[in-house]
Amino acid sequence: MKELSSAIQLIPLENYIFLSVALFSIGMMGVLFRRNTIAILMCLELMFNSVNLLLTAFSAYHSDPSGQVFVFFIMIVAAAEVAVGLSIVVMMKRNVDSIDINLLNRLKW
């Protein structure tokens, strides 16, 4: 554990920023790319987690536990979001027999 705990000092913070920016962009690209509603939800999870990673990195580099507590809260929100989102998907499948996001254009009414 001693080795691990000192590893952080070898890795510059920029690396974590680049990594999470890349992950966030990939997740966003997925949201735009996919039509499958479940896949879109998964891409959203990816974006959530990139933010979590960045928060944790800042928290560790600033020696401030608040960042990690916020990650905890984000997980709570994500869990709630997934529960509601997936139930919407279930209902959608039941009503229009598809999970194609473009069939949700009834939202315009």
Q: Could you tell me the smallest distance in angstroms from the CB atom of residue 37 to other proteins? A: 9
Please report how close the Cβ of residue 25 comes to other proteins at its closest, in angstroms. Answer: 4
What residues numbered 86-105 form the site for other proteins, per CB under 8 A? 86-91, 93-94, 98-102, 104-105
Taking residue 92's Cβ as centre, other Cβ atoms within 10 Å add up to 17
Asked if residue 80 binds other proteins (CB under 8 A), the reply is yes
Binds other proteins (CB under 8 A): choice among 11, 44, 51, 96: 11
Where in 42-61 is the site for other proteins (CB under 8 A)?
Answer: 42-43, 45-46, 49, 52-53, 56-57, 59-61
Alpha-carbon gap, residue 51 to 107, rounded angstroms: 29
Run of H or E residues at 61: helix 37-62
Among residues 50, 72, 54, the alpha carbon closest in space to that of 62 is found at 54
φ, ψ of residue 11 in degrees (nearest 5): -100, 125
CA distance 91 to 85: 10
Judged by CB under 8 A, the number of residues near other proteins is 87
